[in-house]
Amino acid sequence: MAAKKKIVDSPEEFAYYDQRALDRLTFFSDAVFAIAITLLVLNVTVPVILPSEAGTELTSALLATAPKFYSYVLSFLVIGGYWMAHQRTFHYVVRYDRGLASLNLLFLLFIALIPFPTGVLSVYGDQLIAAILYAATLALIGLLLSLLWFYISHHHRLLAKTVRVDAARVNMWRNLSPPIVFLASIGVAFVSIPIAELMWPLAFIIPVAVGLHKDAI
C-alpha cells in the first residue's frame, strides 16, 4: 500500500518547509558563485619561455599578461558585487515558490558563463565583439537580478514586511546601476574600446555609493 503524502496544514510547518527550500536555494547559489569566481583565474596563464631566454624575456612576458590580470580582477569584483547583491536580496526573502527558484536558476546560468567572456576579453580585448560580448553578458546578469528583486518585492510577494517600499525601490536602482553602466559602455565601445573598458569599474563603484543612501538595505 502506498504511503500517504504528508499534508502541511499549519503556519509553522509552512514556514519550516519554506526556510528549508530557501536554504537549499542559497547554498546552491553560493556554490555556483564560488565555482565561477574560481574559474576566472584559469584565464591567467604562466608565460612559456625557453629557459635560456628567461633572464631577458620574462619581465616583458609578465607585462604582456596585464590585460588578463585586468580582466580577472574586473570580473572578480563584478561577480563579488553580484554575490553581495544576491546575498542582500535573499536576506529579506521570507517565502519560497517555484517562480523564485526558476528566476534564480536563470540568473545563475549566466553567472556560471562569466569566465567565458572574461577569457575572450583577456585575449581579444582590442576587438569590438569581445567588448560587446563581455558587457552584454554582465548587463544581462544585472537585469536578471533586478527582475528577481522585482518578483520578490512586488506587493511584498516574498519579501519581509519590515522592508519599506522606499527601501525596496532604492535597492532596485542599486541592482539596475551595473547593467546601465554595461549597456552604456556598449555604445561607447563603437567609438573607443579603451574608454568603454574604463567605464566598467563603475559597475562595482556605483552600487557601493548607492548603498550609502539612508533608505538602502
CB 115 within 8 A of CB 36: yes
- Residues whose CB is less than 8 angstroms from the CB of residue 116 and which lie 6 or more positions away in sequence, other chains included: none
Instruction: Tell whether the torsion through CA atoms of 113, 122, 67 and 56 is positive or negative.
Output: positive
* Residue 106 falls inside a structural domain: yes
* SS3 (DSSP) at 40: helix
Altogether, the residues listed in the chain come to a count of: 217
* Residue 110 falls inside a structural domain: yes
Look at the chain and report how many structural domains it folds into. Answer: 1
> Residue 178, class by beta-carbon neighbours within 10 Å (0-12 exposed, 13-18 middle, 19+ buried)?
buried
* Residue 140 falls inside a structural domain: yes
* Residue 4 falls inside a structural domain: no
* Residue 163 falls inside a structural domain: yes
Task: Find residue 93's DSSP bridge partners.
Answer: 159
Domain coverage including residue 76: 11-44+52-210
The pTM (predicted TM-score) of the whole model is 0.84
Q: What is the pLDDT of residues 134-158, one digit of tens each?
A: 999 999 999 999 999 999 998 888 8
Q: What is the pLDDT of residues 11-52, one digit of tens each?
A: 454 455 678 888 899 999 999 999 999 999 888 777 677 676
* Residue 3 falls inside a structural domain: no
H helix intervals, the chain: 11-39, 54-64, 66-91, 98-111, 115-124, 128-153, 165-189, 193-199, 202-210
Angle between helices 66-91 and 11-39 (to 10 degrees): 180
**The three grid cell numbers given for residue 18, joined into one nine-digit string:** 519554506
Q: Which long-range contacts (CB under 8 A, 24 or more apart) does 153-156 make?
A: none
DSSP secondary structure code for residue 42 in this structure? G
* Residue 30 falls inside a structural domain: yes
Q: What is the pLDDT of residues 157-201, one digit of tens each?
A: 888 888 888 888 888 999 999 999 999 999 999 999 999 999 998
* Residue 170 falls inside a structural domain: yes
